[in-house]
Structures are given as structure tokens and as C-alpha cells.
Structure 1
Amino acid sequence: MDTPPGTAEASDGGGGPMDAGGPAPILDQPFDRDSLYALRATLEAHATHAGLPHGRATDLVLIVHELATNAVFHSSGTGRVRIWRSAGSLRCEVSDAGGPAPAGRDAAAWPVRHGHGLWLARYLTDRFTIASGTDGTVATADFVLPAPDHPSAGTLDRRDSYAVLALEGALDERAAAEIARVVRGLVSDTSAPRLVVDLSGVAFWDSTGITALISAQQRLDQTPGGMMALSGLTPKLAHRLDGLSPTPFTVADTRAQAAGRFPARPDAD
């Protein structure tokens, strides 16, 4: 199996099923093969109503739908989705009605394939666990709710031989558009464009923002003399980018260190 780094059961600590005496779920819905499509609309409505921004709600829909699809096609054919709002996050639990995993088999009884299901869940959630027991397989995925004020903002500073784009707030759809705009401008009017993206001010993210960073790196890598470096990443964000990007990012702690990763220009002598 093409498994991401880390344990088979979890990508981050703190997950797992909710306690029986905890809050009531905001969604408790059974599903089968015929109801998977309708489940997507239900998930989106509950995620946005609970406070997830559009981009992150889309991530939740994608992950939970993938997990439910695994339960349908690789287990008993039926399952249940439950969502709780608790401690500043949404916890999604997807369970099937299958039996326990055979002895010696990975606790994640559902298959892991690059770009699908469990693989995505381990990188696009804030916490993820999966385990099999006497009642079947249960996967839990947590999505942290943003602070009330988390607008995205970007500031571009052009230097002599490179540019710095400092992002603050949310690495989301708005930030993605700013990243794309800056890269287009550098490629069109700069010889050997070089860009430092400072992420030290980012407090929230979604898959759209991560995709924008990956696309920006690919665009600059394909441009003669072009290069991008990232600074100020948290360890968790660095781990996600490592797992999701087809090529490694150049990273550093500070803007100055990131700029120092750029090779000297041939005409600098």
C-alpha cells in the first residue's frame, strides 16, 4: 500500500471516537451506495452552518465522502456518519457495519491509495485516526474551526534579485488567487524570477491554498532560472506540504534564510 509517513492508525494525536457522555452530534446519518451523492450536500450544509469557511467545508465533504465510499465498496456496503462540534473543531466519525479486521492485518481495514480516501484524510485533516474492532472500522477526522477574524492578506516586496510575498491569516481561496497573480507577474516581467513566500503569519489553511503553493512552485520551476522558497512554516504545515507536493519544497526558517537558498545569478559577478 502507498501509505504516507507516520503510524497506520493516526496522522496526528488527539483523535478518536467521541465519549458516550459527550455532546449530541449535529449530524447522525446512515448511508449506503445509493445515498452517497445526497450525503455530500448534507455534509456541506452542516459544515458551513457550524462555521467552516467554504474552502475548508469543501475539504470536509471530500474527506468524509471518500471515507464513506471506502465503507461502501470495501466493507459491508453500509455505514454511518456522525459529526460533533466540540472544543473549537468539528469531529467527523465514519463507521462501517463490517466485522473486525483479520488477525495481523493493519487496523485500517480500508485500502490506502495515493490521492484517495485514507491517504487524503491523513494530510487534509487536522487530526485523523482509524481503527478496527469487533463492530467494524471507525475513522475519525477533525477539522479545526477558524477564529472569528481570519482574513487573508498578502504583501509583495520586490527586492533587487527576488521578491517576497508575505501571507497572513488564512491560506485559502483568496490567498491562492494572490499567489497565482504574483507568480504570473514575476514570470511575465522578470528574468529568472525568484520568490520567497513567507507563511509565518498563516493561522488557517485549506486545500485550495496548499494547491496554489504547489502550482506556484511548478510554474517557477518550469521557468528558466525560476525558483521558489518558503519560510516560516509550522511543522504540521511543512509535513502536509511534504506529503502532498510531487516535488520537495525549498524551506527555511526566515525570509533571509530562504533567499539565501537561491543560487547566485550568472551575471552577479
Structure 2
Amino acid sequence: MDQPFDRDSLYVLRATMEAHAVQAGLPEGRTSDLVLAVHELATNVILHGSGAGRVRMLAVDGLLRCEVIDSRATAATRETPPWPYEYGHGLWIVRSLGDLHSVTRGPGGTVATIGFAVPEAGRPSFRLLQHERDGTVTLRLIGDLDQTTSGDLVAAVQALLKVRAAGRLVLDLGGMTYWDSTGIAALLSVQERVSAVPGAALTLSGLSGDFRRRLDALSFQPLSYDEPAG
């Protein structure tokens, strides 16, 4: 995909991105994340840049790579340091959602790049396996944690809290195969619900270092983990 945009064509751009992302194999929830992120970058071009630009989308090595280009030139090409952003603002959202993000500026303009990993086919169906040992209840999540399954996780934790008003709950995410922003929201919601119950505590295990850093950046309160960050 290679499409120009301006203030009057953002709707068409969003629809085109959605169609291409789905065709490339990105699940529905992550497609929504991609559309939101690219829309934020394009809006920055319109409000703070030249007012118009292009979006290029390319599937490369399991990654759906989107480049938002503002053709207004700058003096020299360079890779910028990590993006400056404020909590809750557009660039903060973009950086939180994407699996890859960078900005380069030069004579050809500014290129903001964001990438989304395309999941492998044949992923296992969503399951929650529960077992208890020495007073600790462990919920092991297998499969995708997304807009289809996140409600099941929240409901399972709510049911446990009704039966066990106190105690330690371990949420094992080692079997999680894919996620979207709805899944992250579900994890943060579970943390808030457990924290609101006196004597209850939630510990997360089986997370990659990257996913843990995302949660830490998005959470309003400290999260507890079974292992150090990788």
C-alpha cells in the first residue's frame, strides 16, 4: 500500500489501512491498534507538519511495517533518540501499541515508522487452566489474549475473587501466543480488581521482557512479577 493523505482523506486512509492489514493476516484487534497508531501519526503531520503526506505499508519478515511520511525537508538525515511523549498523548499511544517504532528526518522529509508483528497460523485455542497449591491459585492462559477472549479472563478472575476474598493469585502468561490493546486493558483491569480486595495479591509470570515493559509503562500502579525483567 502507498497512499497520500491530507486533512480531508483520513477516513479513506483508515479504511484502506484496515483492508490491507486484514489481508496481510493481522487479527482484528491488532488491526484496530494499527489503524489508531497510523491515524495519530498522520494527524501529527496534518497539525504540526506540512499538512499532507503519504503512508506506505509493507509486510516484511513477519512484520507489517507502516511508514508515515511528511515530505517537508530537514537539513540532515539522522535516527532520532527515543520519541518524546507525554502520558496519554498520541505519540505515547503509538509507542505503546507498536512492536517497532522509529523516526528519521532528512532532505526527503520525516518518516515515522511503526511495525506490528503478524501472528503465525495454527495458534492454539484460548484456554484458562486453573490449579491450586499451598494456598496459591494459578491461572494459566493459553492462546490469544485479545478483544474476543479478554472478557473471559476478567470474568474468571472475578469469579475467583468471589470464592476466595483473599490470597495470592498467579496469572501465568507463558502460553499467551498473541495480544492486542484490549488484552492489555484486561490485564490492567484484573490488577485493579485484585488490588481492591483486602488481602488479595496478583503476580504475573511467564512474560517476555518487552511485554513486561509495556505493562509497566501503561499501568497506574506497580505490578508484581515472578521473575526479573529480561
The answer, yes or no, to whether TM exceeds 0.5 is yes
Report the AA paired with residue 104 of structure 2.
A
Match of 1:224 in 2: 198
Say yes or no: does 1:91 pair with 2:65: yes
More moved, 120-129 vs 74-83 = 120-129
Q: Structure 1: give runs of 5+ residues left out of the alignment.
A: 1-26, 255-269
Measured against aligned partners, the alpha-carbon deviations of 1:165-185 in whole angstroms (never above 9, x if no partner) come to 101222222441221111210
Say yes or no: does 1:117 pair with 2:90: yes
Matches within 5 A, 1:88-237: 88-100=62-74, 107=80, 112-150=85-123, 151-159=125-133, 161-237=135-211
Q: What secondary structure sits across from 2:214 in the alignment?
A: helix
Query: How many residues are paired up?
Result: 226
Q: 1:55, 1:199 → 2: CA distance?
A: 19
Match of 1:29 in 2: 3
Report the AA paired with residue 103 of structure 2.
I
Q: Structure 2: give runs of 5+ residues left out of the alignment.
A: none
Does the 8 Å contact 1:154/1:175 carry over to 2? no
Does the 8 Å contact 2:165/2:197 carry over to 1? no
RMSD: 2.3
Report the AA paired with residue 179 of structure 2.
W
Q: Percent identity?
A: 48
Does the 8 Å contact 1:167/1:175 carry over to 2? no
TM-score (norm 1): 0.77
Q: 1:85, 1:190 → 2: CA distance?
A: 47
Q: 2:181, 2:36 → 1: CA distance?
A: 10
Change (3 A) 1:155 1:174: farther
Does the 8 Å contact 1:193/1:220 carry over to 2? no
Report the AA paired with residue 139 of structure 1.
A
TM-score (norm 2): 0.89
Equivalent of 1:62 in 32, 36, 39: 36
Does the 8 Å contact 1:228/1:250 carry over to 2? yes
Q: 1:111, 1:138 → 2: CA distance?
A: 16
Change (3 A) 1:112 1:191: closer
Change (3 A) 1:111 1:230: closer
Match of 1:15 in 2: none
**Larger relative strand fraction:** 2
More moved, 111-120 vs 87-96 = 111-120
Does the 8 Å contact 1:59/1:206 carry over to 2? yes
Change (3 A) 1:156 1:178: farther
Q: Alpha-carbon deviation of 1:81? A: 0.5
More moved, 129-138 vs 114-123 = 114-123
Change (3 A) 1:112 1:253: closer
Q: Alpha-carbon deviation of 1:195? A: 1.6
More moved, 70-79 vs 115-124 = 115-124
Q: 2:34, 2:189 → 1: CA distance?
A: 22
Change (3 A) 1:178 1:73: same
Q: Alpha-carbon deviation of 1:253? A: 3.0
Q: 1:173, 1:91 → 2: CA distance?
A: 22
